[in-house]
Structure 1
Amino acid sequence: MEYKDYYEILGVSRDATQDDIKKAYRKLARKYHPDVSEAADAEERFKEVGEAYEVLSDAEKRAAYDQLGSNWQQGQDFRPPPDWDTGFEFRGGGFAGEGFSDFFEFVFGGGSPFGPDMAGGGRGRGGGGGFRSQGEDHHAKVAIDLEDSYQGGTRTITLQVPEYDQQGRLVRRQRQIDVRIPKGITSGQRIRLSGQGAPGMGGGPAGDLYLEVEFRPHRLFQVDGHDLTLELPITPWEAALGSKVSVPTLGGSVELKIPEGARSGQRLRLKGRGLPGNPAGNQYVRLRVDVPPARTEEQRRLYEQMREGFDFDPRADLNR
């Protein structure tokens, strides 16, 4: 997928105002309009200019696009940076544009957190003396720690709300909210904050704010739904002879029995030691046998004794 440099396409700087963007678009739209231009690529350039304006003229789309970073070049093979779409508050409603590029569809289309499948716009209501409309729902993706899901509780989360100031420059207003994290919430689930979206019209109720949860990378655990996996290094003698070792879990350390003759890659289960739920998830322990280096002559002699004392060829099956 090719990166689109919308600023380069319109010929404006990254700190351009709304007026700068509008003027550049009008000039280029007239230049490349298929009914006027004789350029061979007029239709393609006209669509490209329209796509750039669709993004840069809208505060939310522009802020989301800027979040991708400024080190990309027009036409470069695009790989989104990790967590680029986290921490943004944006309105419900689709951003899809007919005939726009794959790049646009990735950032703003149906599979995107900014796309139409996250829509939840206002619902109008008649009655009384006039028009009443519920405010638009807002959406954001937020990153939490794995421990937040395990323990539950209230956390303060900071969201960025893109908007244009009076000078037409893009700014990001910060909004802090206290959020109750349910125990056992998993990545991809959403938390609904009633009345925390856009205000209603004509006395209508405010919309809701939906927070899609994702986990920050954890130094110990990998997550799959409610289940956790921990890679546990063990010594060759613990693997060969069996042992009891202390293993970290989100609820504290527990004793785990390593069976005699354990192998690297073998998985052991700690039932119910994953994320809370009904039922609770499990924690799986994947064993990794680490071989200590022979740093002294005495240690080398020990390895020599093992080589002589064991009739063992781990590659025997390869020669059959």
Structure 2
Amino acid sequence: MAKDPYTLLGVSKTASDADIRKAYRALAKKLHPDVNPGDDAAANRFKEISAAYTLLTDKKLRAQYDSGQVDASGQQQNPYARASSGGFHGEGFGGFERAGFGGGMAGGQDDMADLFSSLFGMNMGGQTGGPRRQGYGRTQRAQPKNGADIRYKISMSFAEALKGGKKRIKTKDGDALNVAIPEGVVDGAVLRLRGRGHAGVNGGRAGDAKVEISVKPHKYFSRDGQNIRLILPITLKEAVLGAKVKVPMPRGTVSLNIPAGTNSGTTLRLKGKGLEGGDLLISPQITLIDPKDPSLISWAEAADEVGSGDIRDVLS
């Protein structure tokens, strides 16, 4: 006799669809044949919980089971059915065969056999080769079907994208995926976690988890291929007299010599300080620390313009 599907999944009869999915995924991770190669007991348990999950996530079948219209193996509770000529027979979940149904119920039972064959997609009755349907002089083997992919999207800072590392994603079922972020990942990149999608049917492989990366823009840093661009604030004094400054980078501090007389819009290059042999391209930007500083205002009011000509002649 087939086992109670609620007992197999370890859930109550009032469990929600989400609770059933969560329980199934937790068991499937432990019992999947890829995790337990050569373990027949684990393989049979995996088939049982998969069939139980399929029955309980089909609202109509679950209602029929709860009301006693079908038993735990999906067999209709019909006291007048003959085991040798009609109905479903075989032990365990998914062990259904159709053997030439007769009488007025044949069409409905044919449909039910097809439904169970497509839903359960496995043979639990000690038979081999997957579920079969007999009739019209031929035998058909259920075809493997790969599981669907699941898509996720994660967001990270510019610094996290440059450094790489680990990210943890919480799935809809309450599980977690650990994602390895490669160093220098670009915005819009899609990472693939093989076998972490929906489970396959009839021996088909599990789908993949596809993780799309979204990199938040930074106020001062940006990517230019393998080069990193940086808008670097410098003081008026540093621009006039020059200076040696420390530049904080996501992967450590670098030293930069600012030549005397540096203007905003100049580009300074540090070779090999980008990504994978790329360069760090620095655009100094003269920035007033406190534009309303009284001493700065007094200095500007008293200062004479240095040099001759109009500074904006270049625009004409």
TM-score, normalised to structure 1's length? 0.48
TM-score, normalised to structure 2's length? 0.49
